[in-house]
Structure 1
Amino acid sequence: MNDRWLLVFPAFGGLLLIVALLLQIHRWNEEERMLRTAGSVVAVSGRGCPSIAFSTGQGERVTFPGQVCSRPGYEIGESVELLYDPLEPENAHIDGFTQNWFVSLILGSFGSIFLLGGMVFVLPEALARRRRSRLERRGQAVQARIVEIRRNPFATLNNVPAWQLVCQWQNPANGAVHLFYSEDLWFDPLPFVQRDSLQVRIDPDNPRRYSVDTSFLPRLAM
């Protein structure tokens, strides 16, 4: 998968989280100069959107729309606590959890989903790169015979499982047989495998740490 596309979802998720945080900080800073008072619901639209009326300290009558619509919601005549800006009384909102946090929570929730979902793809790839880089410097190169080209049911994208190359190598020092699995591939590699073995870089002290060389395969176009 194209490396740039791997970063899109976590980057977008991180952006949404930053926007949610900035909106909430702005709301907190705004509320520091606001005054608290009581108002009443004077109208409710069909979607459950309330209109609130209140009087300022100078006796000015102000009506403003609630920022969050819900059903069941408010009833006409219901008393509500609210905050308003004394310099701009129209800048007011109901002082409740939903009104104070709704937008930030929605953006934060979507941001978390995109961030965590994207990390499912980015983190394994980052760890694989780190392992490959370390093994290229310190690892021992061995030739492992290809024994299978298979689907990996534990890695899917849009419900389509990835492909894997499976190869094996017998350690001449102790006769033990080791199975090596390539990184997940998002296209069928079979038409491009014109060889019987693959180079594998292993940690001489722990052959379970390895990296299968698939650099001969074409890159998936995005």
Structure 2
Amino acid sequence: MKNSISIMKYIFCIIGLIIWVQAFYIYKEKQTFLEKLSTVPGIVVDEVETNSPTISFVTKDGTQIQFTPDSNNNPLNYSPGEKVEVLYDPNNPKTAKLNAFFFLYLGILVVGIMGAIFVLVSFSFFRSDYLKRKKKHFLQQNGKRIVTRFKGLQLNMHVTVNSSHPYFICSKWLDSINNKTYVFKSEDIWLDPKDIVIPQEIEVLIDPLNPEEYYMDISFLSVKN
């Protein structure tokens, strides 16, 4: 199960990059298409109840055309008489489009955001792993090793993979200097608790200046035969 989580971060990253590549090619195709279009001024003739304005423009050969932009891609409000910029295909002027960012690039923007979500999720996994390794390395080099008492094995309800939850080990330690009891938690354990052996004494590496920063050494973990 732990390997499945490790693989997920790579899968999310690959999916996000693939989506970004698709968005890039869609953008390039859009740019190639737009280069073939002519640009002329237009004017808003009226505005219906759906807020989709009727646009009137004159082509470069003198033909007057009216069209209504797709209301599903119309995030802007227009008023009658308002001047706009129109893009049209000289071979098919009735398929004209408004020369506005949301009309031209909304689809590409949505695809790009989807890719960004996958990449950011992947990045959060990588960052979390990096910080854990950095913290572990620091404590191994500078931490104080203490012996704690096993407190229990608990289910981590905050993590779910394939409808399953991992467990974590809890232990406690009494700091005799300030008479304060600390509770420590291990990393997630993807094993059936019936199949693992946990000793009553568990070593924990703590930051001498801040016992709240710690790493529980669970290298002792063994599986019952």
Q: Give TM-score, length-normalised by structure 1.
A: 0.63
Segments of 5+ residues of structure 1 without an aligned counterpart are 40-53, 60-65, 72-79
1:177-216 superposed matches below 5 A = 177-216=181-220
State the SS of the aligned residue for 2:178: coil
Structure 1 partner of 2:110 = 106
Whether the 8 Å contact between 1:36 and 1:84 is mirrored in structure 2 is: yes
Whether the 8 Å contact between 2:9 and 2:121 is mirrored in structure 1 is: no
Task: Establish whether residue 130 from structure 1 lines up as the match of residue 131 from structure 2.
Answer: no
- Which of the pair has the greater relative contact order for Cα pairs under 8 Å at 6+ separation? 1
Name the CA shift for 1:187/1:115 in 2 (closer, same or farther; >3 Å).
Answer: farther
| RMSD over equivalenced CA pairs, Å | 4.4
1: CA distance between counterparts of 2:219 and 2:17? 31
Whether the 8 Å contact between 1:162 and 1:185 is mirrored in structure 2 is: yes
Structure 1 residue 135: Cα displacement: 0.8
Q: Deviations 1:85-113 (Å, cap 9, x if unpaired)?
A: 88xx9xx8663545411331231232133
Name the CA shift for 1:194/1:187 in 2 (closer, same or farther; >3 Å).
Answer: closer
Q: Give TM-score, length-normalised by structure 2.
A: 0.62
Q: Deviations 1:115-144 (Å, cap 9, x if unpaired)?
A: 333345443332212111111111112222
Name the CA shift for 1:210/1:82 in 2 (closer, same or farther; >3 Å).
Answer: same
State the SS of the aligned residue for 1:137: helix
Structure 2 partner of 1:20 = 23
Number of residue pairs the alignment of both structures matches: 195
Structure 1 partner of 2:167 = 163
Structure 1 residue 174: Cα displacement: 3.2
Q: What amino acid maps onto 1:114 in structure 2?
A: F
Whether the 8 Å contact between 1:149 and 1:190 is mirrored in structure 2 is: no
Name the CA shift for 1:197/1:5 in 2 (closer, same or farther; >3 Å).
Answer: farther
Whether the 8 Å contact between 2:27 and 2:108 is mirrored in structure 1 is: yes
Moved over 4 A (4+): 25-34, 54-59, 68-71, 96-99
Structure 1 partner of 2:12 = 9
1:66-85 superposed matches below 5 A = 82-83=86-87
Q: What amino acid maps onto 2:203 in structure 1?
A: Q
Structure 2 partner of 1:48 = none
Name the CA shift for 1:202/1:18 in 2 (closer, same or farther; >3 Å).
Answer: farther
Segments of 5+ residues of structure 2 without an aligned counterpart are 43-56, 63-68, 74-83
